[in-house]
A and B are shown apart, each in its own frame.
Chain A
Amino acid sequence: MSEKLYLYPIWLRVWHAINALVILILIATGISLQYIDINFEMMKFDSSVTFHNIAGYIMAINYTFFVIANFVTGNIRFYRIKPKGLVKKLLKQSNYYAFGMFKGEKTPYPITKDRKFNPLQKVTYVFFMFVIVPLLIISGLALLFPEFILPRVLGFSGIQLTAMLHASTGFLVSLFLIIHIYISTTGKPISANFKSILNGYHE
């Protein structure tokens, strides 16, 4: 029996649960709004708008809480990337996911109390949580208050560029979600990581 590590404090689990729920709502309503048609209405348009807007506000507030809590609790240390040897580490982890795990090799960067994420996870999470998600939230809020959007940017419609940024970052987050859920099944047993994010302990 391996050592039990308390890696996911309650604030993080609550944030994660709320984030998961609103992101699912946002993806469903976002797809409904983007691909709605006179012959294909996944959800009533006005209901989609209302749910998307409410979920968007909740996500923005929840994200702000996530950033503040990370700094206050010191959890931000898990996201600190050391550039030295990073490429080598990323290749090593990718190699494990692509080949090593099928040969029964051990993960090159196992979870410890000081290393919650492997290098590939760390880079992905930092890119999404501190680049993509802020862009998604800012562009979403801008679309809620279009009076603040510049009418034209470099000859393009400001609102259209903002909408494109919002749809593109939203698409990336939906891809992230699928890969995130799949990678979570690589624990031993398959349900291990799902249990961890519910009870806070990594075994």
Chain B
Amino acid sequence: MFSRSLLLTGLLLALCCTTKGATAGEKDKLPAKFEENKHCFQCHSQQFYTFDNPVSERKERKAMNPNFVYNPQEFYKGVHRNFACTDCHAPEYETFPHNAELRLEPKYACIDCHGGDPEYEKYHFEAVEEDFNKSVHATRHSEDFTCWMCHDPHSYRPMTHGNHTITEIVTYHNNTCKRCHNNSYNFQRISDSIKPALETIHSFLPNFELHFSNVRCIECHTSAQDTLWVHHNILPKKEARRNCIECHSSNTILLGSLYKYQNLETRKSRGFVNSVILNEAYLIGANRNEYVNLLSFIIFGLTLTGIAIHIVLRILKK
């Protein structure tokens, strides 16, 4: 047990030194409740746990409920990395075996801690909640559909508020959706229906893989807004966007969401011109440069004019 704990501690130490998203100061020190949490993670990071049974007076090894297994690496990368487990869970969990009634304790929603707090204003929690309440996730399901169905507080990372590339953001956000919408087991937590494969549902897209790796599901499945980076009003599937040119045109809707965020972020670090030139995304129909357009029209016009003059001269000198 000691060697396993030592290994875990070493692993966590190495991880904490390389945690992406943490500030420079945070990188140099251990998460605030690192030592306290080791006690919980000793069992809750393992598929099997060992304990001393005082009744049988034997050391026993049991399988952990997979719903209660958490990855410490992900936890210490997450937004709640400085929390103790018992900041959100009852302190009685510190004793084992846990009291069965503890499972009935109500869980916090995001808004319980973050709502009305000026410190968290930039994350728009109230607007997110309002948006979510209009979504199919809220209107078609019971109150059991909480923030945690999609955003695991044990690993959640606010990707659009950090130094991440569009690809990283798209992958992270889409994995949030795919966790249920591309996984029959998880999907059936709230539905009896069988989910067809994502590729089948989206067979109308010319290049399924390319779309899924470069565009977030929410770009087409939420109502367009220009104020929130992450939209939460998931629309009924019939209202999802299917018109290609809403994205593939010069006034692409993507400029109002993820790409606006990316341009703003790039502008901060590279300046305005570079942010326009070095945009990492390429979108057919949307990536246009007015100067290149003008130059091509001038060259085209000059060619046609030259030919026209030549034709006139050929006719006159015939």
Residues of A within 8 A of B (CB): 33-38, 41, 44-46, 49-50, 53, 97, 101-104, 146, 151-152, 155-157, 159-160, 163, 171, 175, 178-179, 182
Contacts and interface: CB of A to CB of B under 8 A. Distances in A.
Contact of A157 (B245, B282, B285): B282
A145 to B, nearest CB: 10
Interface stretch (B97-105, B232-240, B302-310): B302-310
Contacts of B244: 44-46
A157 B280 contact: yes
B308 to A, nearest CB: 10
Contacts of B296: 171
A155 B285 contact: no
- Chain A to chain B: the 10 pairs with minimum beta-carbon distance, closest first: A45-B244, A102-B317, A160-B282, A159-B282, A36-B285, A49-B206, A157-B280, A37-B249, A182-B307, A163-B282
Nearest to A104: B317
A139 to B, nearest CB: 12
B48 to A, nearest CB: 39
B307 A179 contact: yes
Interface size range on B against A: 20 to 34
A146 to B, nearest CB: 6
B82 interface: no
B254 to A, nearest CB: 13
B310 A182 contact: yes
Contacts of A178: 303-304, 307
A33 B287 CA distance: 11
A173 to B, nearest CB: 13
B248 A179 contact: no
Interface string B194-219: 00000000001010001000000000
B264 interface: no
Contacts, number: 74
Contact of B249 (A36, A49, A101): A36
Contact of A45 (B285, B299, B313, B314): B285
10 contacts: A36-B285, A38-B246, A38-B251, A45-B244, A102-B314, A151-B167, A157-B279, A157-B281, A163-B287, A178-B303
Interface of B: 167, 204, 206, 210, 244-246, 248-251, 277-282, 284-285, 287-288, 296, 299-300, 303-304, 307, 310, 313-314, 316-317
Nearest to A175: B303
Contacts of B317: 102-104
B285 A34 contact: yes
Nearest to B285: A36
Nearest to A181: B307
Contact of A146 (B210, B248, B288): B210
Nearest to B242: A46
Contacts of A102: 313-314, 316-317
Contacts of B316: 102
Nearest to B244: A45
Contacts of B167: 151
A52 to B, nearest CB: 10
B206 A160 contact: no
A32 to B, nearest CB: 9
Given A101-B314, A182-B307, A175 B281 contact: no
Given A37-B249, A97-B310, 12 more contacts: A34-B288, A37-B245, A38-B249, A41-B245, A44-B244, A46-B204, A49-B206, A102-B313, A102-B317, A104-B317, A160-B282, A182-B310
B206 to A, nearest CB: 5
Contacts of B281: 157, 160
B96 to A, nearest CB: 48
A49 B285 CA distance: 11
Contacts of B307: 178-179, 182
